[in-house]
Structure 1
């Protein structure tokens, strides 16, 4: 792992083996609302024909995990288009033809998932005050006093992170549909929703509750139905109310329906006007209807994320750049992650299911979405890991192994771990690391970068045979014929090299032929290596004390329009002396053209280190390759969440250990379960726990 030297804790640790098989290392994404993309329920959805679901809808979580429970899926009943035969509309709305729409009725109890989100985003005291405020609103409405005569507001205080504000707005309105939320200068204000109270005077509170949850959720192609109503004048009043209050968002119609007793009646159906359900998405993300996006959960085994995308793009006849994802997952593992592919319909994706299974992939929860995914668009990752061949460190025989393991976990839970980039970032075990290619690109050594890219591994499979042939011959056309179809990146490069030559210009055009996300990947690998080295130097130089010149992320006097550098504060001497900041608040820059460096020995180290690689004047822009690296900041310390573990015998049965029992070396395995924040590496966390390189 390039650049990794320091560790956070000083416990003894222990030894063990990880990734003995892919099933020993299972990674599952946690979406922004704390829900797991679990495989078992995803398989159930797939078996039932991939029932429609909201984007990034997730499956039930492991029972041991104290993350908030996911919401119950909205019950959906297929309803015909507005102009279906047999319906008798009372108004003159034009029908939406040829669409597939769904009836959505929310559970009036609701709130399990919203409560979990509120618990994770609000302090316990603020959460209690919010619940009390909500109860007071309902009490006022149930009393004789008019709530409008007693305006009430409740402030959650400033919430600086835009994503957190969006999550809070949605969670509050979903849990308490009778409340409304507004933002004033980063401060979230909660008020009584008088529209809700007015609707309760026309329909039942259960219907009003469901209707406002429906409005806030804004699920594509969804509909809401009020209960059947035989009073035409009353229906007109409801039509008028909804049109007056929400006419820009929804439209209403009345349809004849048959109840369970076979009696004819009339119900008001509400649906969103076209595109109105996508209120939080920029117009550029929901373009013309020919831009088809399909979301799905990808399960892969023993495959890199980019390699899996190469397989998928080859099978679907699209470019690798048409895929988006929230992060790159481990290769030697079983992983579950959300993906979106552009220009591919759900039906087309389902067709390749049996083909890609042969490559170690499965797709679940296939559904239409409106936009691509963004890197980092997740809450974190959940890990289920088996450590095998447990034993003491070579120089340690003084304590029971169980005690050593317990000590290690308690230490890291309390003190955290150094947030290094893990070995998979750099191509662990490969003859050429990705950061070496990135350095060549930053120095604009295009031919060298190509040669490094095509450096073979020591195996004799067709891919490495083709790479050896290319390095020996520079014969791009011949190499192209030798490569398997799924090697999409390599083939793109070779086609350009065949056309333009294996020279500086030809290699530049070759790099330009592959997607931007793949080109920038190598640059980021180099920047990650430098960050690892800088962090190690920082801990060796200053330890865990926050010192003058350190950088911390500040939440004072900034708003959502502030630049990243405005949010980074340089620690002053008085702040050091009063211990104003803690070590977990310290960040270090990922090198780029728009970052600031620490104003101490660490900043000086950065400049000397870049000069060593010939980058002292580098602006981290490679215009010839359309690469622009502004840089960012990363916390030097992170913590493990929701850690649990138990011991297994070799036959995978749990060991019922007593307090005074001992573990025999190499006769037991350890099953770990924990969560990490985005961009944290489980192998790095385990290195800190075990005190050995993995």
Structure 2
């Protein structure tokens, strides 16, 4: 990291550190407060002043859980509801399905796309010397099924595919499969190996498993991969390679056998008198699927009663120990425990750090549907893996000392997913009510009533709130995200460890690390619950504080945590784009704007549902501002074709991202982008005024400003920020 070479001061007070950090990292650019003040408003009322979050109890957030019947996989809902499943944030953007990398996936021991790599299982010769991949004269057991894949009907598989995908998508899949096979026949068709087809998101775990199996049984030459609930199909390079060694029928039957995974089943290739050819087949299977399968040659007789050798394949014994059931293989049921987490004055990830440290599990073993406010009392469902309900109950009293309570503990069958919520309910108290300094009106109650009616009718700009970026921090999350996008790993680490101007163990440890580059010493100083910091420091201690070491340090943090910083940067750009769009065009929908089509045709991709407004449509006022969306930057979105699109390109260029592909390969991060509506509406809005001293509701128009508080309740969609809604109501920046 070479902190001393860059002028990092060796001994500064916390306050001096704050001054130095701002000067070193932020430069002379526009401050955060100025950026917030540039945000637009939808409504034209005057508003009023007040303070929020005087105490956590003044800001209570309760997650609205999605009803079970809405969790079924209807892809039209999934595109809108799994907001940051692609962004791994809780933002209900309209999302572009991810594209996977173009090389074939690694073989895996569970047969997802074709078997395992090497290692792990005992040598076959250790268990049965005759299964060593060589020739043997002993015939196979007559009771074993030879050359028979799973007894599944092609019609049955086609029916399953049709029922799970729907006819339009099933027909598109058939066309993709046929086109791919045709392309394989053309030796000079270079793009055949990179072709992919998305089946869209599928939330239900059982439906996903059924569809994986049905597609691979119907089309053995395809592989299926799940990425953040989205199912991708593409050509199986292993299938194509085996076709060069044996007939296509044998290849097809072999991959069906591999996918079916029937216990005690075997597969036999056709008799083969060529030893070198048999050797090549042995080597292919051991190289591609050696962790899962083992091979052996047996003497058999052909149709003319001539002795020949045939290769038989069976599953290794160890592979069955992981997944076994009466009817074949099934996924091992993990232990899941669901609960409601109540936290106060804690970040969601910080709370998870406390829980993980106490339970002895990883932070990644926790799942949740969204990040909740820190300066609030929040209630949200969570699920933890590998922890029993009894164990979770045991730590309840300890967690209360950390500002958490655990309610409604019960067993669950699977984890939660980001964005898998209906919304949030807010109960907020605004204190110290008064007029704006420029407002000469004497009737504050009228101002409040006017504000509530306007926002209820017209909504608010759907900005990401300041807590998204680390409100009040010296270095905010979007700055770290920008450094990661630029692949400046060392700078990202420096930003991550930049301390606040407080004298506490966490910030003292950060300050010590930047001054000394002593990762091991900083580790000792950090409290146990600072999980991300400790993960990063352990890698830095092992690999060094340099580009390679910092890269490995970021990789040591769970993917969902490290990509959070990149998404914060994308959110900042979206906020600025929304302000620019409203500033130059206002509420009028103009040519080049993007609007989202509500059509439910499952075969239409997300980008095809995002329509570019034409000049005739602008003249006819065909669309309203509520239908306009703006892209969250990424590699798979399209930009407006008006001045807003030009602004995006200039803004990214300013941050040296004009050539960025929004894939950070060293950190295994892929940012496809999505679409977010400019405006949002508030639901179930209600309010009343209360005398803060007497605790009674006020109904007359004579308010003693200093003694009155405003109680507001409302519901918002996922990823909408209550502070942003309040900003629109009050015309105040927080």
Task: Give the shorter-chain TM-score range.
Answer: 0.5 to 0.7
Provide the C-alpha distance between the structure 1 equivalents of 2:413 and 2:515, rounded to a whole number of angstroms: 47
How far, CA to CA, are the matches of 2:628 and 2:421 in structure 1?
A: 22
2:707 matches 1:664 = no
Cα offset for 1:309? 0.7
Query: What's 1:681 paired with?
Result: 721
Partner of 1:76: none
Q: 1:45-83 CA deviation, whole Å, 9 max, x = no partner? A: xxxxxxxxxxx8xxxxxxxxxxxxxxxxxxxxxxxxxxx
Distance in 2, Cα, partners of 1:615 & 1:444:
11
Is 1:10 aligned with 2:10? no
Residue 574 in structure 1 maps to residue 616 in structure 2? yes
Alignment partner of 1:563 is 2:605: yes
Which residue number in structure 1 is paired with residue 421 of structure 2? Answer: 378
Equivalent in the alignment of 1:245:
none
Kindly tell me: are residues 183 and 511 of structure 1, through their superposed partners in 2, closer, same or farther at Cα, counting changes over 3 Å?
closer
Q: Which residue of 2 aligns with 1:232?
A: none
Aligned mates of 2:534, 2:486 — CA distance in 1: 24
Among 362, 368, 373, the residue aligned to 1:330:
373
Q: Write the distance in 2 (CA, Å) between the matches of 1:409 and 1:490.
A: 43
Q: CA deviation at 1:287?
A: 2.9
- 1:315 aligned residue: 358
Cα RMSD (Å): 2.5
- Partner in structure 2 of residue 353 of structure 1: 396
1:294-443 alignment, distance < 5 Å: 294-443=337-486
Q: Give the alignment's TM-score, normalised by structure 1.
A: 0.64
Structure 2 unmatched ranges of 5 or more: 1-31, 83-162, 170-205, 207-327
Equivalent residues of 1:27, 1:381 under 8 A apart: yes
Q: Contact (CA 8 Å) 2:693, 2:707: kept in 1 or not? A: no
Measure how far apart 1:666 and its partner are.
1.7
Q: What residue number does 1:244 align with?
A: none
Aligned twin of 2:582:
539
Partner of residue 635 from structure 1, selected from 666, 674, 677: 677
C-alpha displacement of 1:415: 1.0
Question: 3, 23, 46: which is aligned to 2:57?
Answer: 23
- Describe how 1:32-111 pairs up with structure 2 within 5 A: 32-33=66-67
Distance in 1 between residues matched to 2:563 and 2:75, nearest whole Å: 32
Bigger CA radius of gyration: 2
The residue aligned with 2:503 is 460
CA deviation vs aligned residue, 1:518-555 (integer Å, no higher than 9, x gap): 00000000000000000000000100001111111112
Give the direction of change, closer, same or farther, for the CA distance of 1:420–1:485 in structure 2 (3 Å limit): same
Question: TM-score by structure 2 length?
Answer: 0.60
Q: Where in structure 1 are there 5+ consecutive unaligned residues? A: 34-55, 57-113, 118-157, 167-180, 188-217, 219-282
With 590-599 and 366-375 compared, the bigger mean Cα shift is at 366-375
* One of 314, 333, 336 as aligned partner of 1:293: 336
Partner of 2:530: 487
Give the match's secondary structure for 2:621: coil
CA contact (8 A) 1:402 1:663 kept: yes
Cα offset, 1:366, TM superposition: 1.1
How far 1:564 moved relative to its partner? 1.8
Is the 1:595–1:631 Cα contact (8 Å) retained in structure 2? yes
Shift of 1:342: 1.2
- Deviating beyond 4 angstroms after TM superposition, the runs of 4 or more aligned structure 1 residues are 1-4, 162-166, 181-187
Count residues in correspondence: 461
SS of the residue corresponding to residue 448 of structure 2 reads helix
SS at match of 2:513: helix
Task: Give the Cα separation in 2 of the matches to 1:652 and 1:25.
Answer: 20
Work out the CA distance in 2 between the residues paired with 1:587 and 1:163. Answer: 14
Q: Deviations over 1:592-651 (max 9, x none)?
A: 000000010000000000000000000110000001000000000001100000011113
Alpha-carbon distance between aligned partners in 2 of 1:672 and 1:185, rounded to the nearest angstrom: 48
Cα contact 2:168–2:603 (8 A) shared by 1: no
Superposition deviation, residue 182 in structure 1? 11
CA distance in 2 between counterparts of 1:482 and 1:469 reads 9
Query: How far does residue 347 in structure 1 lie from its aligned partner after superposition?
Result: 1.3
Aligned CA distance change for structure 1 residues 576 and 436 (closer, same or farther; 3 Å): same
Cα pair 1:161 1:560 within 8 Å, conserved: no
Equivalent residues of 1:325, 1:340 under 8 A apart: yes
Distance 1:474 1:183 in 2: 54
Q: Matches of 1:513 and 1:159 in 2, distance apart? A: 33
Q: Secondary structure at the match of 1:666?
A: helix
Instruction: Answer yes or no: is 1:622 the counterpart of 2:664.
Output: yes
Q: Provide, for residues 340-360 of structure 1, a one-character-per-residue CA deviation record: whole Å limited to 9, x for no partner.
A: 111111111111111111100
Give CA-to-partner distance per residue, 1:453-473, whole Å, 9 cap, x none. Answer: 000001101111111100100
Given that 1:646 and 1:654 are in contact with CA atoms closer than 8 Å, whether structure 2 keeps it comes out as no
